[in-house]
Amino acid sequence: MIRFACPTCGKSIKIADEYAVRRGKCPGCQTPVTVPAAAPPADVEPATAEAEPAHAAAESEAATIEVQRTKPDKKPPPVELGDLWWGKLCGGIFMLGLAVWLYNELSHLESDGGSFRIWWGIALAYKLGGKWGAVGLIGGFGIIFVLWGIKQFKTGKE
């Protein structure tokens, strides 16, 4: 593809290489023009030549902003405990401890009677599955979190 500007009206013309060095009419002003050779001079389209570096500059500026954005601050952002393998591990161990505590509490309740306020999920699990349902719910979560933490630790993710 040959790109050149009409010498009379300045309209930029694109034409297939096969028309190189042929004469034709400018589509803008109908003046006869000679199509230049296949490799046109660099200054044929000054507007495009200027626009490209400007575009490149804009791109590099955007890249700089992106780099600045991803640069860590002096203060690292607070990490969610759940994102860390040891967070899951500790959470899991805590839940296992909670399961043991709940088992004790429920054992006391079953022998003495009474009730205590607790997370509705556990209360529901108790209604459905009894003491072992509630304890199993927390203990299951605990085991899942412990295994999840161990798995994350092994894969080296943080």
Binding site for Zn ion (CB under 5 A): 6, 8-9, 11, 26, 28-29
Phi, psi of 101 (to 5 degrees): -60, -45
Please name the residue that has the structure tokens 């000679």.
Answer: 34
Closest CB 9 distance from Zn ion, rounded Å: 3
Phi, psi of 12 (to 5 degrees): -80, 130
Q: Which of 76, 134, 48 is nearest to 142 (CA)?
A: 134
8 vs 60 by CB, closer to Zn ion: 8
33 vs 135 by CB, closer to Zn ion: 33
27 vs 121 by CB, closer to Zn ion: 27
28 vs 36 by CB, closer to Zn ion: 28
Locate 108 and state its tokens.
């006391």
Q: Which residues contact 35 (CB under 8 A, 6 or more apart)?
A: 2, 4, 13, 15, 19, 20, 21, 22, 23, 24
Closest CB 17 distance from Zn ion, rounded Å: 20
Closest CB 18 distance from Zn ion, rounded Å: 21
Closest CB 24 distance from Zn ion, rounded Å: 11
